[in-house]
């Protein structure tokens, strides 16, 4: 399941980014849903929130280290449970998708614009968000179960 999610996230992310790069000019927007969601082509040469512009390639190093750590931890059996499996897979798929952009282009193609003032994202960013939520949910469930065991 882990590797399937990683591969699917990476393929979907790269497919959408390729479509955006081939069909939209930078800065161009296409309304998807009633001015709530648009595709807006943006090239981010930095990190999240457009910080550290021009240093995007440097973020490949922590992505590779993180992916390596997750793969090592999985092999050692340290990452157990459905939500942990799913969460780390989404996280790795997202990190890989953005790392590919940084290696090939020196910047990340973003296009998902929710018009909420939180910036423009891509599928990889959304996968990372899903991964974080899954891991937090697993931690919360584990804490609740520990409290129940302690009170019995």
Catalytic residues, by residue number, are 110, 125
3 state SS of 31: strand
Query: What is d(CA 99, CA 56) in angstroms, rounded to the nearest whole number?
Result: 9
58 CB-near residues (< 8 Å, 6+ apart): 52
Report long-range pairs for 133-136 (Cβ below 8 Å, ≥24 apart).
133/87, 134/83, 134/84, 134/86, 134/87, 134/90, 135/83, 135/84, 135/87, 135/88, 135/91
125 CB-near residues (< 8 Å, 6+ apart): 48, 94, 98, 110, 112
């Amino acid at each position: 399941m882990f590797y399937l999610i990683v591969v699917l996230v990476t393929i979907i992310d790269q497919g959408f980014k390729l479509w955006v790069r081939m069909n939209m000019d930078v800065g161009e927007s296409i309304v998807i849903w009633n001015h709530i969601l648009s595709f807006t082509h943006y090239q981010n040469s930095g990190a999240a929130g457009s910080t550290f512009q021009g240093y995007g390639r440097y973020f490949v190093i922590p992505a590779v280290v993180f992916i390596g750590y997750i793969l090592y931890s999985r092999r050692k059996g340290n990452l157990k449970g459905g939500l942990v499996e799913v969460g780390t897979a989404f996280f790795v798929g997202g990190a890989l998708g953005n790392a590919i952009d940084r290696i090939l282009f020196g910047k990340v193609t973003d296009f998902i614009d929710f018009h909420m003032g939180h910036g423009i994202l891509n599928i990889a960013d959304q996968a990372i968000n899903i991964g974080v939520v899954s891991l937090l949910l697993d931690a919360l469930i584990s804490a609740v179960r520990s409290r129940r065991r302690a009170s019995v």
